[in-house]
Amino acid sequence: MAGILVFIEQRNGSVRKASLEALSEARRLAAGPGLPVSAVLVGHGIGAKAAELGSYGAGKVFLADEERLGRYSAEGYTAAVRAAVEKCGPVAVFMAATALGRDLSGRVAARLGWGCLADVVGVQIEGGAVVATRPVYSGKALAAADGAGKPVVVTLRPNVFPAEAGEGKAEVEALPQVGGDIRAVVKEILAKEGAELDVAEADVIVSGGRGIKGPENFALIRELAKLLGAAVGASRAVVDAGWIDHAHQVGQTGKVVSPSLYIACGISGAIQHLAGMSSSKLIVAINKDPEAPIFKVADYGIVGDLFQVVPAFVDEVRKLKAEA
């Protein structure tokens, strides 16, 4: 019976949390209609990870373990995913909407002649077909979309669906060697200095905007972020001013995020920024202008000088953490 196939992303042999979220969601969806859930794991020297995926819901894991798949390539990985699709004939292929998943999904969908529902925040099965909710116009609207009567590739936004470990060991089936050219080749991976948590993956984000007045004051934002185990975000204004790297930008021309907690410091809330973060589960705003649009989407906020409020808040959080 046609079920759901989940592509599992690993980096240096570690399975990405966002992939476990996608697999967990597939299991939840499949439980009702009783559909089988399979996974496909691609890389080199990663075989030991395959059976463990059973605890997140995979009944079967297709394993493509080859030296030339050790580093990601859209072409090699597409061939591997297609081989798994041919084995199990799924109604949908799920992937995490990470940098890799968003890169791979288009290639996979085109090779299969399917559509792709990208970066979804909700997914259901209606009449045997997948229907997903996805933010469009950078979150200014939500579209309910389906695969137009065909199977479909779905990429699931990280941090939206809970990953749930349970019981179970998966049956592992090795895929035959993947054929085809790999023309675009990763030569090297350069890690960012300090290896900061990326806003796209973070469960908590502390962001700074023009109100922080200068690049040196990101120290204040970083201090609060570190205390909360959060990623550091930024508005477009401060990225364009060169205060912080674009990788931190949240908003329509940066990253669209949905963390559990988003703390905006000195960000007034331009429509493009709100589009990128308003689907956060809890929003806290600290800004000196009571009329700032950010307060309209905030669950909690303080009108005040962030240079006084943020250090005081850091002290209070530190006290709470000490009590706990």
Partner 1 sequence: MKSCVLMAHVPDTASVIKVSGAGDRIDEADIKWIVSPYDEYALEEAIRLKEARGGAVTVLTYGPERAQQGLRECLARGADAAVHVKGVERTFADALAIARVLAAAIRKVGPFDIFFAGIKGVGSDNSLVAAMVAEFLDIPHVAGVVKLEIGDGKVTAHREIEGGTEVVEAPVPCVVTAHKGLNEPRYPSLKGIMASKKVAIQALSVADLGLDEAALAGAEAGCRWKALALPPAKSGGTILKGEEDPAAAARELARLLREQAKAI
* Residues in 41-70 that interact with partner 1 by CB under 8 A: none
Which span (19-27, 33-41, 108-116, 168-176) binds partner 1, by CB under 8 A? 108-116
CA angle, 247 then 283 then 100, to 5°: 35
Considering the rule CB under 8 A, would residue 17 count as an interface residue with partner 1? Answer: no
Compute the distance between CA of residue 31 and CA of residue 57 in angstroms, rounded to an integer: 10
Q: In whole angstroms, how close is the CB of 62 to partner 1 at the nearest point?
A: 21
**Which are the contacts of 12, defined by CB distance < 8 A and separation ≥ 6?**
none
- The helix/strand/coil state of 11 is strand
Q: Of the two residues 165 and 186, which places its CB atom closer to partner 1 in the complex?
A: 186
Out of 113, 176, 214, 242, which residue is the one contacting partner 1 (CB under 8 A)? 113
**Burial class of residue 253, CB neighbours in 10 A (0-12, 13-18, 19+):** middle
Is residue 109 within 8 Å of 153, Cβ to Cβ? yes
H or E segment and range at residue 301: strand 300-303
86, 171, 289, 305: which one contacts partner 1 (CB under 8 A)? 305
Binding mask 71-90 for partner 1 (x = CB under 8 A): -x-xx--x------------
| Alpha carbons within 13 A on the beta-carbon side of 76 | 21
Q: Which of 34, 179, 187, 216 binds partner 1 (CB under 8 A)?
A: 187
Which residue among 48, 191, 219, 322 contacts partner 1 (CB under 8 A)? 191
Q: Write down the least CB distance from residue 176 to partner 1, Å.
A: 22
Q: CB nearer to partner 1: give 80 or 172.
A: 80
Task: Write down the least CB distance from residue 107 to partner 1, Å.
Answer: 5
The region of 24-32, 167-175, 179-187, 211-219 touching partner 1 under the rule CB under 8 A is 179-187
Q: Which is nearer to partner 1, 31 or 312 (CB)?
A: 312
Binding to partner 1 by residue 241, rule CB under 8 A? no
| Helix-helix angle 218-228:306-323, to 10 degrees | 20
CB closer to partner 1 out of 15 and 172:
15
Contact segment (CB under 8 A) with partner 1 among 26-34, 86-94, 168-176, 190-198 equals: 190-198
* C-beta of 174 vs 184, nearer to partner 1: 184
Least spacing, CB of residue 308 vs partner 1, in Å: 4
SS3 (DSSP) at 212? helix
The continuous run of DSSP H or E covering 20 comes out as helix 17-31
Contact pattern for partner 1 over residues 126 through 145, marking x by CB under 8 A: -----x--xxxxxxxxxxxx
Residues 216-235 that bind partner 1 (CB under 8 A): 228
Q: Which is nearer to partner 1, 58 or 239 (CB)?
A: 239
Cα dihedral angle (209, 212, 216, 217), rounded to 10 degrees?
Answer: -110
Q: How far is the CB of 175 from partner 1 (least distance, A)?
A: 20
Give the nearest distance from C-beta 98 to partner 1 in angstroms.
Answer: 6
Name which position in 195, 216, 219, 291 contacts partner 1 (CB under 8 A): 195
User: What distance in Å separates the CA atoms of residue 62 and residue 38, rounded to the nearest whole number?
Assistant: 8
Beginning with the edge strand found earlier in the chain, give each strand of the sheet holding 171-174 in spatial order.
115-120, 152-156, 92-96, 4-8, 37-43, 60-65, 171-174
Residue 22 vs residues 119, 122, 285: alpha-carbon distances, Å? 11, 11, 30
Query: To which residue do tokens 């373990």 refer?
Result: 65
Number of CB atoms found within 10 A of residue 130's CB: 24
User: Using the rule CB under 8 A, which residue among 28, 198, 210, 222 binds partner 1?
Assistant: 198
